[in-house]
Amino acid sequence: MRILLIEDDELIARQLVPKLTYQNYTIEVATDGQTGLEQAESLPYDLILLDVMLPKLDGISICRRLRSQGIKTPILLLTAQDNSTNKVMGLDAGADDYLTKPFDWQELLARIRALLRRGDTDLTPILQWGDLALDPSTCEVTYQQRLISVTPKEYGLLELFLRNKHRVFSRSVILDRLWSFEEFPEESTVTAHIKGLRRKLKKAGLPDDPIETVYGIGYRLKSPEPKHQKNQKAIPAKVEQQAIEATTAVWQRVKNKLDSRVAAIARATDAILNDNLEDELRQQAITAAHKLAGSLGMFDVDEGSRLAKEIQQILQCDRPLNRQQKQRLPKLLRAIQQELAKATQKKVPDFLTVDERPLLIIVEPNKIIGEQFLRETKNWEMRCEVIHDSTVVREWISRQRPEVVLLDLVGEAIATKELTLLGELSACTPPVPVIVFGAKDNLRERVKISSLGGRGFLPQTMTPEQVLTVVTEILERVRRTETKILAVDDDPLILKALHHILEPWGMEVFTLTDPLEFWSTLKTVMPDLLILDLEMPHLSGLELCRVVRNDRRWADLPILFLTVHQDAATMQQIFAAGADDYATKPIVIPELLARIHNRLERSQLLRTKTETDILTGVTNRYQFVQELTKLLQLAKRCSQTLCFALLDVDHLQQINDRYGHAVGDRVLSHLGKLLQKNFSSEDLVARWSGAKFAVAMYGVSSDEGKSRLLKLLDTLQQKPLSLNKKGSLTVSFRAGVVQYPQNGDRPQQLYRVAKGLLVKVKKNGDRIIVAQE
């Protein structure tokens, strides 16, 4: 959470910043009203702590200005004036809460938590789960339009889950979110309230419990059954029979693998009872038991997983087996065979039957055009769903996340609901790429779509085949920016499960079953994170981990182990080899995701320090050139254009001489922040050197690039930089704009041409000049 503190009293700021930082908030400080207003207008914050009495511009005026611009960031006023008149003025100006100085630290924290909860609003006014609805404006809960009476805490619980549909909340986090600082309930209180809420929902007629217990972690909202299933047409008998046959075939293949592993254990058991067990057969049985322990849990055969672990422990015993162990093995074998016999094709997890081809959703009101796209996609390696009503897209995506959305805009102007939908899809985590298919093809519309996160604009004159060619290019670009995971495990079922679990979270998963091919695969994939099985044939995960840690290039690569063992000795071995973390088998999905995200965040933090220009917050030149080289290679493969712009801040040397280098640094930082805000995450932005910045825009012409830069100049004109008592300063720049492939096909060539244009633009007195072909 990012908080802006606007406070001119340095003593108070020095006290608040470390305390709030310790609470995991990101704090930015402005020491006068004008600077604070500029930061609040140009950057997104989750909360503003605002002093009332400020130099240059008072806090109440800042409130009015922000609210008049439609900025709804929660504002907490801080002041030493404890009278009702000031409170009324502040609240009427748009503040959300008011706290007088000196204030109690715990009270301030409680108010901050309350405002942050209040600010976490959903885009849809009424929150729904199937026919269950919660209306925040009236604080009412209904099922099939019948009112349900709930307590305030039950209401808060339901609202928390409905607003955070995919998040798991622990009981301690729920206490922090829903109970005030003055209350000190036990975690069992949460369990009691959830139990009461479930009972009321069931009594109201809900056929399914909307709250799912994630054992050992907490609670989350279940995915509802799609509404349209109740009214959908009966499935033809032939189609239904084909589906049953396909599912049965999948289960049979899986069951054959599981049976072969049990058979290996049975052969070893017979040999042990006959006192003729060879080392090779013993090792095969240990491997089979290890794989069963990891994979049976994914088929809800938890008892079978436990039995396999016990068998593995007995077979791994260093000393000859005693009489009790020999008698125990056949009993364990029979028990695991019985558990496997109970499993049917109904136990097959989704990841074994899911279609792994990329999903394209086409929002197309015209049914004839929709049918044309459906026919054409049969010739491409992708799935396609056509939706004729844009209002149901959100419901679709909540059930199944697409790789790309093609949005057809009918008419001469883009409607507000389409713009809203485009913004929502781009704001998803990870973002859903959206390609706009429109009738009105002009520069203004293209700029508007790009600013909302659109990945491309296609005129409606293009054929379905041409459109799908562009869709394929977009998919390749998206995969280039995805987090890459390399998973090494000799059990293909585990690897398939990792594909299913991680790819919806924007991770591209590469898998390897043979550890002997590890090093060549590592160099080819160049992953962001490595997942290793502990026990594998030929080379163990521990050995692979040590090899990685001993190579300078990969020494910082995050490594996570998957293992069925949780004893202290195994954990010590894992961490001694250089691992960062581990997760248990059978895989617990929320736990695995939490551990992977934690490792990636820490790795990203370290990488950011080496790849980012500290002053401006944008990429440094070295990293920019590397990324630009990759982008040029992609543009060549996909026959796409690329726009490169070199920007030079006006009069930076004179600013340093007149106002000092601290002001010059603020100028560069100000421009860096606006560049990041005005260009999408797919564009490359860097500080090249001194007063120069560089921007690269894939799939954009030089004319489009010039238009974006002119828009940025307008923004700079409207938002001058406050210099405290020295007035304000309007930041501006000049730019040379070039295009691949017309002006070069390597970063150095594009830079030289753009640099030459900068010399020309300064002589002519222009702002931006575009290279001719």
On the question of a cis peptide bond just before residue 537, with omega within 30 degrees of 0, the verdict is no
User: Which of helix, strand or coil describes residue 584?
Assistant: strand
Q: Does the pTM exceed 0.75?
A: no
Confidence (pLDDT) at 118: 59
Summarised one tens digit per residue, pLDDT across range 522-577 is: 988 889 999 999 988 889 999 999 999 998 888 889 999 998 887 888 888 999 99
Domain assignment present for residue 292? The answer is yes
Does 183 fall in a domain?
A: yes
Rounded to whole angstroms, the Cα distance separating 529 from 258 reads: 29
Q: Are 42 and 85 in contact (CB under 8 A)?
A: no
d(CA 675, CA 469): 31
Supply 157's token pair. Answer: 């619980």
Which DSSP symbol is given to 497?
H
Tokens, residue 356:
């792994």
CA nearest to 560, candidates 523, 527, 538: 527
Separation of alpha carbons 201 and 222, rounded Å: 14
Mean pLDDT for the chain overall:
81
Choose one of 228, 260, 295: the last residue of a domain: 228
What are the backbone dihedrals phi and psi of residue 653, each rounded to the nearest 5 degrees, phi first?
A: -65, -45
Here the CATH number for the domain that contains residue 298 is: 1.20.120
d(CA 552, CA 145): 63
| 342 and 373 belong to one structural domain | no
Token digits of residue 254: 């899986």
For the cut 70, the answer to whether the pLDDT of residue 377 exceeds it is yes
The string of pLDDT tens digits covering residues 248-277 is: 555 566 777 888 889 999 999 999 988 888
Specify the CATH number for the domain of residue 87: 3.40.50.2300
Domain-located, residue 235 = no
Q: How far apart are CA 701 and CA 446, in angstroms?
A: 11
pLDDT, one tens digit per residue, over 66-84 is 887 777 789 998 877 656 6
The confidence score (pLDDT) of residue 85 equals 65
Tell whether the model's pLDDT for residue 313 goes beyond 60: yes
pLDDT of residue 646: 96
Residue 122 is predicted with a pLDDT of 39
Q: Is residue 233 part of a domain?
A: no
In a domain, 612, yes or no: no
- Structure confidence by residue, pLDDT tens digits, 698-750: 988 999 999 999 999 998 988 888 886 677 899 999 999 999 999 999 999 99
Residue 469 included in any domain: yes
pLDDT at 685: 95
Which residues, including other chains, have CB under 8 Å from residue 111's CB and lie 6 or more apart? Answer: 76, 97, 99
Q: How many domains does the chain have?
A: 6
We report the CATH number of the domain holding residue 144 as 1.10.10.10
The answer to whether residues 475 and 442 belong to one domain is: yes
Give yes or no for residue 246 having a pLDDT over 50: no
Interstrand relation of 507-512 and 529-533 (parallel, antiparallel or unpaired): unpaired
Q: What is the pLDDT of residue 628?
A: 93
Are residues 632 and 680 both part of a single domain?
yes
- Cβ-Cβ contacts under 8 Å for 318 (sequence gap 6 or more): none
Residue 546 and residue 424 in one domain: no
d(CA 177, CA 217): 16
Q: What kind and span of H or E run contains 638? A: helix 621-638
- Residue 636 structure tokens: 């060549």
Chain Cα centroid distance, residue 233? 36
Domain co-membership, 412 together with 531: no
Whether 410 and 534 share a structural domain: no
pLDDT of residue 224: 63
Residue ending a domain, choose from 58, 89, 119: 119
Convert the pLDDT of each residue in 229-244 to its tens digit.
Answer: 444 434 445 444 544 4
Is a pLDDT exceeding 60 seen at residue 351? Answer: no
- Residue 634 and residue 755 in one domain: yes
Together in a domain, 217 and 292: no
CA distances from 475 to 411, 479, 500 (A): 27, 6, 18
pLDDT tens, residue by residue, 175-193: 766 774 445 577 778 888 9
Q: If you average pLDDT over residues 137-162, what whole number do you get?
A: 86
In angstroms, how far is CA 139 from the centroid of its own chain? 30
Do 164 and 178 have their domain in common?
yes
- Do residues 493 and 610 touch, judged by C-beta distance below 8 A? no
Q: Which of 144-148, 217-221, 399-403, 463-467 has the lowest mean pLDDT?
A: 399-403
Q: What are phi and psi of 644, to 5 degrees?
A: -120, 130
Question: Distance (Å, rounded) from C-alpha 554 to C-alpha 521?
Answer: 13
The answer to whether residues 650 and 759 belong to one domain is yes
Q: Are residues 577 and 538 in the same domain?
A: yes
Q: Per mean pLDDT, which range of 7-16, 38-47, 310-319 is the poorest?
A: 38-47
Asked if residue 304 has pLDDT above 60, the reply is yes
Residue 364 lies in a domain: yes
pLDDT of residue 238: 47
Residue 610 lies in a domain: no
Task: Return the SS3 of 404.
Answer: strand
Q: Pick from 350, 376, 407: which residue ends a domain?
A: 350
Give me the pLDDT at residue 383, please: 83
Place of tokens 């039950």: 154
Query: For the domain that residue 752 is a member of, what is the CATH number?
Result: 3.30.70.270
Task: Name the residue range of residue 135's domain.
Answer: 127-228
pLDDT at 348: 52
For the ranges 11-15, 391-395, 462-466, which has the lowest average pLDDT?
Answer: 391-395
Tokens 């909360």: give the residue. 47
- For residues 491 and 591, membership in a common domain is answered with yes
